[in-house]
Structure 1
């Protein structure tokens, strides 16, 4: 029989991941040095269309406009940067058991709760669109498609689901390891981080898929794209042939 312990400490953890998506368009403008982009608050921009209000709020979006110091490739005229953080609480119980070969196994029930998934975004545009055309600007519209990918509510839901599915952790004790709260907390966080990495890797794949399928926003999104349902919701199947991303 193994010993059984209840850890009374509630673990609250958070981490973040940053990633970048770019749009590259051939232009004739040369690089500009010694300048920093200006940050724009949503309140300073033209009123957004109603369908975009929820998207912008979900993505916690801020905007930057203007050339950047050491911008590198002058063809890059738009970029979406995102940072996703997660939080959870876990009241973990652990039990030390032995397997059929006699090896010691640390058996943990992580009991995840209050799971949170919070994305934040910065959309950079080298050239600020005119006020009357701001929300219909083709570069911005492509970056908003990136935003739709990384704010997809199904990802946050899937994160919570996977944590619940993987709440039971089996860890063979290695020489020198001591079963207890410190090791339990470390293993619980490692499991949560693995789920987080799995989902953020999927977001990065979808970002690249969007750029590949639209030539970085210069072509319409193909109607047979796996991203079509997410990025073009409500479009009637029979109308897809003429639908585009910009």
Structure 2
């Protein structure tokens, strides 16, 4: 059976930047084993699978090795594909039924805004291998629903970080978010990187779901509810965040890179 698959670069307006995601709008249900095999074949940090329902779309996300409960950039890519390919009218809201509940997306000019659950973090004792794995001084360690959030002293430390991924893989969490305030001269407010070797993603280029924790963390410290984050991976990407109670509005752009056909 033939199945269209589209690759989208999310949280960027330029091809080959941001975070690439595969998107399959399924014509009929497929089982989890098939979706996992497709995700492994795509070998991207996430591949999204959508199936139309009466009230929107069922949405699932797979890394090359596991299904995950929440993914921001592949949701952004999915919404982009639904509008671009004519599955939704340009002014229609995208509604997704997921393992993290109902998620929605709207267009706002050239940007897409995702409505996600906020993920407030709490201070915790750092895992025993964390300091050795990162190799930089740690200012604070907190834990959210999925990830450890580690604040370091400055943006240069975030950008220059070369963690020991084998040690990070020992830490029982989806991933490790390393963050700091931005340098004063830049136009974004905070910077971050995301490492998830435990789920088959050594470094994720731009992680929307991590900003569900970064938004309340930096909103509290910077005393503003609307912020701009930059994820300083090799590809890089910007994420607008707005904290609204127990929700976070994640804003980003997206661009289609290619469209192909699966024959399996």
Structure 2 length as normaliser, TM-score?
A: 0.21
Higher helix share goes to which structure? 1
Name which one, 1 or 2, has greater alpha-carbon Rg.
1
Structure 1 length as normaliser, TM-score?
A: 0.22
Higher strand share goes to which structure? 2
